[in-house]
Amino acid sequence: MTEPQFDLAKRNVPVLTGQSILSQVAWTLGSPSIVLPFLAVSLELPMFIAGALVSIRMVGSMIADVFLAQVIALREQKKRSIAMTEVLIGACLVMALAAAATGSLVFTATAFIIAFFLIGLVGEIQTLLLTDLLGAHVQSRSRMIMRYLQLGAGGLGAIGLVLLVHQITLGNPPFARHSVVIGVAVVFFLLSGLSILAMSEVPHQKISTAPEDESKRHWSEYFTDILAMFNQTWFRRYMVMRLPIVVVSLSVPFFALMAAEAHHSSAKGLTAMIISSASGYLVSAPLWQFVNLKSHRAVMVSGTLMVALTGAGLLTVHYLHIGHQVHTHAVALFVVTVAVTGISSARKLYFLDIAPFDQRVKGAAAVKSISRIVAVIVSAALAGLAHMHQVSAAVLIVVLVSLIAAFACYRVVTPIPKAPEPS
């Protein structure tokens, strides 16, 4: 690395680290998986809509992956686009709050559906932009340090802020308390967007080894590529493990919905849920990094069993009416957040270990596409089940599939032999 490039990297790393911490605080306080569904339930939206918001968000993310990834990759400068995505996400939250303040159930439901779709779309665009930006401007070790600081400082910042807001708004009605929390999230989205503009971005010209017409392929060819991947033995085995994990990953939003159903009118319900999720991110990074060094299978089996056992305990408390304390749901959400975070990291690392180099890109695209489609269908089905019965019925399905996922991970995921050291 030349001297000017080294100086540029030294300047950009603190800027990007600060931006990532601000963004982590914003996403935690305005979480589409926890905070917004909690608000939806407190506004007495139908449970089907509250549960279906998960599917709607995933549809937006899937559209960004399929149709916009190529366009994003061709952009030479990305920091302004990232700043704009932060502003747009904040605007979506403001729109949802403004609609809720009108008191119209139909208007509020429509606004929430639009907001979740746009958050999924814009959030995935932001992820693609950041992946490219960090890959071009930050070295691997610095990226790792940034990630740990983001989870640690962002988690602690979110916990401190939500406790402060809780004390200030303690005597206010639920909607006012929830609105202040989301308002603080909007402020941090704006601060995050402004902070990334301080970095010095050097345009990187894309050097494509693909044919010139690659970006003009017919949409049907992408589906042909996905189907062709099932001819590979390694891919079929991986999908046997990956598909049950899709359902396991839905444990966080549906556990949060179950908590919202029981505690949406409580003065400390939302505060406890935010603290639980932030603490889960804080603990998961050092915990799973240590276990991952030993075995990816140990992480995935442990994580899926943690979700199953926690869900079983929560259902026991619910059906036996032992006690519906806020802390019970907070602990359950903490455990599943830790578990799902570890599973997500381990499956990605395992994929990189087993996927042949020449099939890695197409395989990753196929895995993401199939997983997103399955997640949309399953989350919609669980939302319907929650609407017809109770959220606990959807949680029961998640628990049963988590046990299947644990068995699949144990049978399919094999330890990767280390290459012998060169003599």
pLDDT tens per residue, range 151-190: 888 889 999 999 999 899 888 888 888 899 999 999 999 9
Q: Report residue 332's pLDDT band, with 50, 70 and 90 as the boundaries.
A: very high
* Widest CA span in the chain: 73
Weakest-pLDDT range from 40-49, 178-187, 203-212: 203-212
How confident is the model over 359-402, as pLDDT tens digits?
A: 876 787 788 888 888 999 999 999 899 888 888 899 999 999 99
Q: Which residues of 79-104 are buried (b: 16+ CB within 10 A; e: fewer)?
A: bebbbebbbbbbbbbeebbebbeeee
Q: Which DSSP symbol is given to 202?
A: P
The tokens describing 1, both together, are 């690395």
Residue with tokens 């030993």: 294
pLDDT at position 281: 84
- Going by C-alpha positions, the residue among 28, 29, 27, 57 that lies closest to residue 383 is 57
Q: Given this model, what pLDDT does residue 323 score?
A: 62
Q: Which CATH number fits domain 8-200: 1.20.1250.20, 3.40.640.10, 3.40.50.300, 2.60.120.260?
A: 1.20.1250.20
Q: Are 238 and 359 in contact (CB under 8 A)?
A: no
pLDDT of residue 300: 92
Domain chopping of the chain, boundaries: 8-200, 220-415
**243-288 pLDDT, tens per residue?**
999 999 999 999 988 888 877 667 677 888 889 988 988 888 778 8
> What average pLDDT does range 335-357 have in this prediction?
86
DSSP state of 64: I
CA-nearest of 22, 53, 217, 214 to 120 is 53
For residue 208, the model assigns a pLDDT of 45
Query: Would you say the C-alpha torsion 69, 70, 71, 72 has a positive or negative sign?
Result: positive
Res 209: pLDDT? 41
Asked if residue 331 has pLDDT above 50, the reply is yes
Averaged pLDDT, 181-206? 86
- Would you say residue 72 has pLDDT above 90? no
Domain 220-415 falls under CATH 1.10.3720.10 = no
Provide the pLDDT confidence category of residue 5 given band limits of 50, 70 and 90: low
Quote the pLDDT of residue 215: 47
Comparison of pLDDT for 224 and 249, the residue scoring more: 249
Burial of 5 (0-12, 13-18, 19+ CB in 10 A): exposed
Q: What is the pLDDT of residue 222?
A: 63
Least confident of 116-120, 145-149, 302-306: 145-149
At 265 the pLDDT is: 66
CA 130 – CA 83 distance, rounded (Å): 11
Residue 219 has pLDDT above 80, yes or no: no
Neighbours of 232 (CB within 10 A): 16
Mean pLDDT computed over every residue of the chain: 84
**Fold match flag (8-200 vs 220-415):** yes
